Chains A and B, each alone.
Chain A
Amino acid sequence: MAYTTFNQNNFDATKEPMFFGQNVNVARYDVQKFSIFEQLIEKQLSFFWRPEEVDLSNDRSDFAKLPEHEQHIFLSNLKYQTLLDSIQGRSPNVALLPIVSLPELETWIETWAFSETIHSRSYTHIMRNVLTDPSKVFDDIISNDAIVSRATAITRHYDALIEGVQLYSTFGEGEHTINGETITVSRRDLKKKLYLTLVSVNVLEAIRFYVSFACSFAFAERATMEGNAKIIKLIARDEALHLTGTQHMLQLMASGRDDPEMAEIATELKDEARQIFIDAAEQEKEWAAYLFRDGSMIGLNKEILADYVEYITTQRMLAVGFESPFENKQNPLPWMSSWLNSDNVQVAPQEVEVSSYLVGQVDSDVDTDDFNDFSL
């Protein structure tokens, strides 16, 4: 099944499954199988923002005033965020576009990944403002063991899916001998890889990002690095939407409404999927230990962040119908909600941007009465 960029078969795209059906041909949205994806696209477009809109001039002096161990926390957290968005700006496109079969979902994936590239550009914007030489920090991302081990866990499922799909497009289903090795390519196996990939993306968006947001907002709670927090607020608004997109995909799969085989797979892989959540929680706790290795900061330390990891993991697991291994307790960081609240995202002092304000607000109805008090 080689990929084709414009499938010349004549077929009804609304009868295709989300993934592993026909390749998409016409990018049309007049008829849709799942209109939720177009609604997500419209919401994402209404969120559009640019990092340069946020003034970071105070952050530079704030950063210089931070004690060394807090600079370590701030920069390590930023490195981790950079890693997450480097992955998310690329991988949904590379992994999912070759196998997607619905035009509205294809465009959602592209819109989603595009907004992640804005996040990546934000991190450069922040580093440039805070440091004289940001390259040292960026260079460290691929040589720092604590970060590299995160990267391996996050990309494992993506990479397995991408490799499998490449073999599938080149050789098709069946047994193949490649470089002396026998490899079995089966569509069902690829669907399993897809399911696990989406679960791990869900974990990335729902848990890993939120742990990093907690660190960013902990600084702003103390009225320092506030420009950075404003950018993270915009990123958090986007991530909440991406998370919703991924939850919809997973849910459509599990319900069998889209592809009955996917529903079987969701049941079959339930334990494995659950384990992805639990492993991520453990990794995030290890990360908390690394962040606070030289000392904690006012309002946040290793234990509180680890509590937050357990709390957020439980919430996310319950939201998709998994049982959590952790106790269902209260949010140990109650101030997170007000920082995450995107109702009042403000990019410039004179401009309070309410996102719902941006969609369909132009009144284009002109009546002849409108010209009554108008004379030539």
Chain B
Amino acid sequence: MANIVKIQDGYSFLPRAEATLLEALESENIAMEYQCRQGYCGCCQIKLIDGDVEYQEEPLAFVQEGHILPCCCKANSDVTVALPQPLTELQQRKASA
């Protein structure tokens, strides 16, 4: 069964099963920060409010307590995450870019 991804400021969606969490967020037109997309730079780090994620490979980057690296994990249950900036701004930017 697919897991729901919720964003703290009130938005949720069902990601495609094969997508990483970062790809899933991007496919919702959210402008996410990223660099390596392989778990060693730590740029895409976001806060995990609730739920579990699964890493295919343990990332090298230093990840703060309570944070996750969406570039190399998938939701393992329904998850709630907090984005670094308000969702509406991040979606607007994607639309204008």
Residues of A within 8 A of B36 (CB): 237, 240, 341-343
CA separation between A344 and B36, bound complex, in Å? 9
The answer to whether B33 and A337 touch across the interface, beta carbons within 8 angstroms, is: yes
Residues of A within 8 A of B31 (CB): 330, 334
Residues of B within 8 A of A355 (CB): 38
CA separation between A36 and B84, bound complex, in Å? 27
A275 at the interface (CB under 8 A from B): no
A sample of 28 cross-chain residue pairs with beta-carbon separation below 8 angstroms, ordered by A number, consists of A36-B60, A43-B60, A236-B35, A237-B36, A240-B35, A240-B43, A241-B41, A243-B42, A244-B40, A244-B41, A244-B61, A247-B62, A315-B84, A319-B62, A328-B84, A329-B85, A330-B31, A330-B85, A330-B93, A334-B93, A334-B97, A337-B33, A341-B36, A342-B35, A342-B41, A343-B36, A355-B38, A356-B38
CA separation between A328 and B42, bound complex, in Å? 17
The residues in A between 230 and 272 inclusive whose CB is less than 8 angstroms from any CB of B are 236-237, 240-241, 243-244, 247-248, 251
Residues of A within 8 A of B37 (CB): 341-343
Per-position contact with B for A327-341: 1 when CB-CB < 8 Å, else 0?
Answer: 011110010010011
CA separation between A343 and B38, bound complex, in Å? 8
**Please, how many residues of chain B have a CB less than 8 angstroms from a CB on the other chain?**
22
Listed in ascending order, the chain A residues whose CB lies under 8 Å from chain B are 36, 39-40, 43, 236-237, 240-241, 243-244, 247-248, 251, 315, 318-319, 321, 328-331, 334, 337, 340-343, 355-356
Out of A43, A237, A328, name the residue touching B85 (CB < 8 Å).
Answer: A328
B82 at the interface (CB under 8 A from A): no
Contacts A328-B84, A334-B93 hold; do A321 and B60 have CB atoms under 8 A apart? Answer: no
Residues of A within 8 A of B43 (CB): 240, 315, 340
Out of B41, B61, B89, name the residue touching A330 (CB < 8 Å).
Answer: B89
The answer to whether B41 and A248 touch across the interface, beta carbons within 8 angstroms, is: no
CA separation between A340 and B71, bound complex, in Å? 14
